[in-house]
Chain A
Amino acid sequence: MKSNLGKRCVRTLFGKTVEQRRDSMGYVFLLPWLIGLVSFFILPFFEAMYQMFYSMTLGENGVQYTYVGGKVFKEVLWENSNHIRMLLASIGNTLRDALLIVIFSLIVAILLNKPFRGRGFCRALMALPIIVSSGVLMQVLKGDLLLSSVESGAAANTVFQGAVIEDALLKMGLSVTVVNFISNSVSTILDLIWQSGIQILLFVGGMQAIPSTYYEVCGVEGASPWQSFWRVTFPMLTPFLVLNMVYAVIDSFTMPENKVIVEINEYFHNVLYSQATVLSMAYFVLVSIIVGAIALIFSRRAFYIEK
């Protein structure tokens, strides 16, 4: 009401309010980004879609396109039966990793949330994976662990070799698929630690943002820590849960040691551009379906304070 009155009072020459004139300044701030968005995102994206139906040859002055229709699709997705299997397997792995990352980082964040001696040090070290880690570096670092176990006998990573555990679980009568799932998870835990840096920080940040009055109410009502976690902390963290899940999926999607990415790079190095684009488009469509599904399913359930 008040602001409406204000707007009517300050109507200016061109029939626009001061606020409207100020708001159109937003385009000035956005200008560089808009140029970039069109020329380095939207145009390339549509060109890539168009180019999937053409075969390309690289010449001196540019690229020659010849129309081939759906031939490339057929070649990449139908005739090479490996690819479909690879895509599905990679998506399964991605989902498993994302789930593990989220659970793992939630547990670590809970441990880091309450003040204790050395908390600052621990939190600082959690930032190390974000800053230093990349897919490339991780391979070198993993090489270290391998070598050291060869060298010094007392191995850091034999703990994570699932052979013994696998045997024990099989003897307990669990089915092979379950045991495989567990042992695979165990063997990727080193990677997961390195990938969950940003998720841990986000969860800790989310926990700090929960108003302390909620916990006071819990204390007054006589809730146990267990109850107050599930009734207060967890619901308040659900938005972060969605975000972390999506972030983890996207992150593992673009990692260079991802098998599909390796395949795409191989196509590219063999000058088979259309094939590479088809494969990456297929992958992108699959992953965006999954990201969309995660966002939809979880954000319905997620709890936001201000509606």
Chain B
Amino acid sequence: MIAQNSSVERNRRLGIFAKKLPGMLLTVFRFVVLFGLIFMIIYPFIFMFVTAFRSEVDLNDPSVVWITRHYTLDNFKRFLGMVNFPDMMIFTMVISLSCAVLQTFVCALAGYAFARFKFRGRNFLFVLLLFTIIVPEQTFIMQLFLKFRFFSPPGISLLFKLFTGKSSLNLLNTPFPFIIQSMFGMGIRSGLFIYIFRQFFRSLPSELENAACIDGSNALHTYFTVMVPNAIPAFVTVSMLSFVWNWNDYLSQSFLNMSRHSVATFLYSIHGTISVATQNMEDPTVMYILIQSGTLLCIAPLIFVFLFGQRYFTESVERTGIVG
């Protein structure tokens, strides 16, 4: 009797255990995978932070792996002495900020048009929009290069002739090519931004506009006073992405700014630049430290954007949905 009872009890416990087992396994699996993943993502940054402030004394000390004994800013000072950093930073900042503002503004307008107006040729234009996402810049970057090397838009080129005596301007190595392209909705990944805005505006209720229309507001007025305040999350997401992608954009900057470094083109050649600046005489580990501190300075604005905006950003990408 007693023996039977205990076996029943054991079976019951086994049953509970069998039910709980998959959940526990999942938890363990999730922990292992996510921990590994996060380690891979965050490791380089921790490493960068740690090394950038390390003084040369600690370099050959085997007991120093993660926690530095002698903190110093010398690496940054040396780096700033080697490179014309302020010029590069201001140049990139001007490009990224102005492009972010202009791109957000123009892409929002276009996205609203695609979302809420049924004008003739809309579907055709939308297919063209998708093409701008798919066709890579390499195919016509030469033409863009030539366009901005000999910049003479119809109608305005006469003015150039009056003032400078030449019929075209050389806009290379200035922020203007990027600003002009963003102004007309053709900056980096503009197609994607227009798509995001279209999806977002479609998700807003159309009663908003109908009410404004009945109150006698025209389309432009409605857009700026009713729709824009309701679409703040999309605006924040797009402007952040635009800033970041312009900052990191290597391809078009390497073509349009051949003789002037922006942050992205500089990072690409950071190793060479620093070894030239130290005349290759430096210990490789010291060079690596210099590279670390330089990179940290170059991506500091991105890290700020991430820290301030990540919550807003993840949520709105998930909620507004880049896709529909």
Contacts and interface: CB of A to CB of B under 8 A. Distances in A.
A121 B45 CA distance: 16
Interface string A251-267: 00110100001001100
B306 A131 contact: yes
Nearest to B44: A141
B311 interface: yes
Interface in A126-182: 126-137, 139-141, 143-145, 147-148, 151-152, 156
User: Chain B interface secondary structure, helix, strand, loop or mixed?
Assistant: helix
Contacts of A256: 250-251, 254, 268
Interface stretch (B10-18, B84-92, B291-299): B291-299
Given A127-B310, A256-B251, A140 B194 contact: no
Interface string A36-79: 11011111110110010000000001110000000000000000
A45 B113 contact: no
B268 to A, nearest CB: 5
A144 B271 CA distance: 12
Contacts of A204: 318
Contacts of B8: none
Contacts of A30: 109-110, 113-114, 125
A22 interface: yes
A208 B321 CA distance: 10
B185 A33 contact: yes
A40 B138 contact: no
Interface string B208-240: 000001000011100100000000000000001
B109 A33 contact: yes
Interface residues of A, number: 95
Nearest to A62: B150
A254 B251 contact: yes
Contacts, number: 254
Interface in A81-136: 107-108, 111-112, 116, 120, 122-136
Given A116-B30, A145-B43, A132 B185 contact: no
Given A125-B42, A131-B244, A147 B118 contact: no
A140 B117 contact: no
A285 to B, nearest CB: 9
Contact of A206 (B39, B248, B264, B323): B323
A59 to B, nearest CB: 10
A281 B314 CA distance: 36
A208 B318 contact: yes
A273 B141 CA distance: 10
A240 B323 contact: yes
B2 interface: no
A132 B306 contact: yes
B259 interface: no
B204 interface: no
B323 A202 contact: yes
Contacts of A239: 323
A73 B143 CA distance: 18
B322 interface: yes
A274 to B, nearest CB: 9
B80 interface: no
A35 interface: yes
B288 A143 contact: yes
Given A44-B147, A127-B314, 16 more contacts: A24-B119, A25-B219, A26-B116, A26-B118, A27-B113, A48-B142, A124-B314, A127-B310, A131-B306, A134-B250, A137-B295, A140-B267, A225-B22, A253-B136, A254-B251, A256-B251
27 contacts: A29-B223, A33-B186, A40-B144, A40-B181, A41-B186, A43-B143, A45-B139, A45-B143, A48-B139, A51-B143, A63-B146, A108-B34, A116-B27, A127-B306, A131-B240, A136-B264, A136-B267, A147-B285, A151-B285, A194-B41, A198-B317, A225-B22, A243-B323, A277-B142, A280-B138, A280-B141, A284-B139
The 9 A-B residue pairs whose C-beta atoms are closest, nearest first, are: A36-B184, A26-B117, A134-B248, A44-B143, A29-B113, A33-B185, A44-B140, A205-B318, A26-B119
Interface of A: 22-30, 32-37, 39-45, 47-48, 51, 61-63, 107-108, 111-112, 116, 120, 122-137, 139-141, 143-145, 147-148, 151-152, 156, 190, 193-194, 198, 201-202, 204-206, 208-209, 225, 239-240, 243, 246, 250, 253-254, 256, 261, 264-265, 268, 273, 276-277, 280-281, 283-284, 287-288, 291
